[in-house]
Amino acid sequence: KAIESPNKDDDTQWLTYWVVYGVFSIAEFFSDIFLSWFPFYYMLKCGFLLWCMAPSPSNGAEFLYHRIIRPFFLKHEAQLDSVVKDLKDKA
């Protein structure tokens, strides 16, 4: 029902959240062995994810997406497209 709703603002908010969550998960995969040794890491991670999905004007997912993720992907869009095309051709 959410995808078919006439109001697309909530869809954009959640799609932005999942993009940020995916990037966070990839970064965490490689750094979790080191980060898990820090005190309160899991509490900070939970707080970070709550900040990212909070329905407020200071939404963390939108902030991180527009300030960090989007500019990075726009800068490297051609390279990423060629990597995806090469992987598709090999598959």
Q: What is the pLDDT of residues 16-75, one digit of tens each?
A: 899 999 999 999 999 988 888 889 999 999 999 999 998 888 889 999 999 999 999 999
pTM listed for this prediction: 0.79
**C-alpha distance from residue 55 to each of 17, 58, 80 (Å):** 11, 8, 31
Distance separating alpha carbons of residues 19 and 91, to the nearest angstrom? 25
